[in-house]
Amino acid sequence: MINTEVVDSIAKQAHFSGVKSLLEIEEAIAKLPPKARRQLVRDIPALCPGEFPADGWDAILNDPAPRPALTSLLDRLDAGRSQNPEDYLVLNDKSLRSKK
């Protein structure tokens, strides 16, 4: 009788032998030029279709499911900004252009 655990282990080793560690992948991505990183970000949903909904971010943004932790965080940020607006950066075309 064949030990399926041993066969599975051998199959996994063969499949993943060329895969680098997550740290190595992250380091390689960090070394990419900005244009290549932007292209990678655009390509990731196609590279990992099981991890992304078919309609991408629109499905996530339009999902009516409650997210209490995110809502709580945003409520705290809004309250803090209302009390001390000078502590928060203003992002608009003018402020972004002046950073270049």
Q: What is the tens place of the pLDDT at every residue in 13-63?
A: 554 556 578 888 888 888 989 999 999 888 888 888 777 767 767 777 788
**Per-residue pLDDT, 82:** 93
Query: Whole-model pTM?
Result: 0.36
pLDDT at 7 over 50: no
Long-range contact set of residues 42-47: C-beta below 8 Å, sequence gap at least 24: none
Q: Count CA within 13 A, CB hemisphere, residue 28.
A: 8
Nearest by Cα to 40 from 24, 61, 26: 26
**Per-residue pLDDT, 73:** 92
**Do residues 61 and 69 lie in contact, with contact meaning Cβ atoms separated by under 8 Å?**
no
d(CA 38, CA 46): 14
